[in-house]
Amino acid sequence: MKKYQNVSKVDLPLSPYDVIIVLKDQNDQENIIRAQVKTARNSVNFIGGTRGGVDRTQKSDVKIYRQSPVTSDVIIGCCPKEDHSFDLYFVPTILIDVWDTGSKSLGKIQPLLFNYDFLENSNTIYIIYFLNFALEKRQQ
């Protein structure tokens, strides 16, 4: 929040994202990033719509879903450290669609650790270019 200033917590209980980050581009246009925050100990979970806590057995109309560009732009995996700080993994939901999985271990997403480029460009074609470049490199 300190880094971006124009950040707001979403207070809608059924919203598929927790935080809105507003960034300005070179033309002073606002770019809104919808972020879902998840606790990440060994992996980052991409599943939403489940209930936790005391009333988790209560039935509701909420459906379980996997995060995607339709529901949010980025998952922020917060991994608590012993010194009471956090490692932050920025996982664009475009990648979650490509991976077609409900979670990823932290070891497999190390390039996303504190990768602010991925956060700031999570809802743009930048991620697709990066993914295509990585795939081409892997095939060489």
pLDDT in tens, 27-57: 888 889 999 999 999 999 999 877 655 555 5
Compare 140 and 127 and report the one with higher pLDDT: 127
Domain ranges of the chain: 7-139
Q: Which two structure tokens, joined as six digits, stand for 49?
A: 């719509």
For the chain, the average pLDDT equals 84
Contact 33, 17 (CB under 8 A): no
Q: How far apart are the C-alpha atoms of 122 and 126, rounded to whole Å? A: 8
pLDDT of residue 45: 94
pTM score > 0.75 for this model?
yes
Residue 78 has pLDDT above 70, yes or no: yes
Contact 21, 32 (CB under 8 A): yes
- Calculate mean pLDDT across residues 113-122: 90
